[in-house]
Amino acid sequence: MIVRARKTCKVVTEKNVPMKTRDGVTLYADVIRPDEPGRFPVLLSRTPYNKKGTDDPNGPNFLFARYGYVSVVQDCRGRFQSEGEYDTIFQEIADGYDAVEWAARLPWSNGRVGTTGQSYLGLTQYMIACNDPMPPSLQVMAPVSASSDYHASWIFHTGGASLWGWIVPYAIFKGLNTLKRKNRNDLFEKMKEYVEGGEFPLLRQTRFGLNAFTPLTDKWYRHLPIKDWIELLRETAPYFADHIAHADDGEYWYRANVNRHAASVSVPMLHVTSWYDIFGEGAQNAYRSIKTQSKFQKARDGQRLIIGPWGHLLPYTVPSSRGTGDIDFGPAALIDLSETLARWFDYWLKDVDNGVMDEPPVTIFTLGENKWRSLPDWPPPNIRQMPYYLHSRQGANSIRGDGALSTVPPDQENADSFVYDPDNPVPSLGGANLAIDMGVQDQRTVEERDDVLVYTSEPLEQPLEITGPVSVVLWASSSAVDTDFTAKLVDVHPDGYAQNLLDGIIRARYRESASHPRLMEAGRPYKFTIDLWATSNLFLRGHRIRLEISSSNFPRFDRNLNTGEAFGEGVKGIAARQSVYHERAMASHVLLPVMPR
């Protein structure tokens, strides 16, 4: 890595600089810029969380301005100072295009524009990439911690269930931090009418506004029918009704799916995400789809990817994060993201020959070994997909069962079965969450349940590295016409600590297609594929590989009521008997991407 000392500038802020969109709505931005003569490249961020305070001297926008960039932070349409009605996600496609071209014409701009920001500020960048063509003044992007497919990791999740423990508190948060106090109190009273004893959690004030990410009580998450939330959130999140109505993937979501627009992406991107990020699919899939599908060689060659060991929100400057949840991945996990991004922007917007494009395109953090490493591509080209098959003799129910995991295919074995009761779902315990507890947690408490099938390998005689996408091929049946099957990959330490690595879900009606649901025939075995996304983990000598199979992970995912009703309609669930098969003709297994060492 080539690092050169940078000249720093004095900084001045221009408040509430107006911009007109193509449909005549005025959006306002704060411009943090070098306080010296000349024109400079622009770094644009667009936020729904209030641009107020983004000129903090300790923040990245101020830092970029000191490094000689015009840092523009704009309130999104319908948020805080900006005019118009807020329609999350989709409005950012056209508004983002207009903002880039407007920023290029600012009196302090030299016409070269890049974009930056994380979470929703990463979303606003990916939405610009859904324009065909993209804005001509845009030269580079750096989305951090954002989804690139909003049916796969924002409203819903790969496999078709909703991200229930995220979308409800987030919709409340987005509304409450712009409502007047009286309107907030009215909302609280209205919500209490729906759930007896469902006290709303206390809110706390931050410099970004009200924070409603304190988890709702269990009664709120359990409230049925789900469609009641449409009325409850009509004022704070009017778009919520459309999201509930579009549970199937399709044209509604395709317009905001970067991967479906990859051919028209014309600029280099540095994608940043982490193994325990709720939107972790975004960077990985966008990197791959643009690199393989873009019509523009500059874009194909200019994709870069960083995956760290953190949760969702990563501070840009050191100290950043050494992990999330129970495990500290050590000092090596710390990075200075602002400096990383500055090198990226210096190359593309200032023509600084700093060697950034001579480095390998992918940088990841390998858990277990707790080291950064460089790769030639993602997924790694030299991995070997190795199936680990499910086995049991008496039954795999709970950690007390005899469920086993091995590379030996099954012969003739009896199916494992359990009862999934929507009124008693398996509780979420860490994972890639945001509004509920996230990160690494010991899974042994949920593994005590009889409705969790537990399959564990023998202790490893040699370390085993898996790096890349992980999936579960599950042969299963249900007494219901629709249900869910969940899977969780776990690294079991010699002392028994069960470290969650990945989890996923498949809604049975979406087993063939996310766009065209089909109910099941009760009692008939079907083949399900559960996408667990990806990780890089070194299972150390003496550790064991574990796979959990169940039918719920709540409130991370909404409960399937097993009735076959449309999403949001059901008012009461029914219990379902689930069977998981592991025999010669139906060899359920987890497919692990083994990396040679």
Quick check: helix, strand or coil at residue 405? strand
**Cβ count near 91 (within 10 Å):** 21
Name the nearest CA neighbour of 408 among 528, 582, 593.
582
Q: At 147, which amino acid appears?
A: S
Separation CA 65–CA 44 (nearest Å): 11
447: left (phi over 0), alpha (psi -120 to 50) or beta: alpha
| φ, ψ for residue 97, nearest 5 deg | -60, -50
- Is 411 marked active-site? no
Q: Is 536 a catalytic residue?
A: no
Q: E strand or H helix at 73, and its extent? A: strand 70-75
Structure tokens at 212: 């409603």
Sign of the alpha-carbon dihedral angle for 429, 434, 436, 441: positive
The residue with tokens 């709970």 is: 398
Read off the tokens for 482: 């629709």
Q: Would you call 589 a catalytic residue per the annotation?
A: no
Dihedral angle sign, alpha carbons of residues 50, 53, 54, 55: positive
* C-alpha distances in Å from residue 361, one per residue of 266, 269, 495, 592: 17, 11, 37, 23
H helices of 223-336, in order, are 228-232, 240-245, 251-254, 281-293, 297-301
> From the CB of residue 82, how many other CB atoms can be counted at a distance below 10 Å?
25
What letter does residue 120 receive in the DSSP assignment? H
- Based on the number of CB atoms within 10 Å of its own CB, is 52 exposed (0-12), middle (13-18) or buried (19 or more)? middle
Q: In what order do the strands lie in the sheet with 269-274?
A: 11-20, 26-34, 70-75, 40-47, 109-118, 138-144, 269-274, 303-308, 362-366, 371-375
Among residues 95, 98, 149, 277, the one annotated as catalytic is: 277
DSSP three-state, residue 169 = helix
- The active-site residue out of 151, 271, 312, 391 is 312
Considering the candidates 45, 119, 266, 588, report the single residue annotated as catalytic: 119
Cα-based distances in Å from 304 to 46, 111, 378: 22, 24, 10
Backbone angles phi, psi at 431, to 5 degrees: 110, -165
Residues catalogued as catalytic: 119, 277, 312
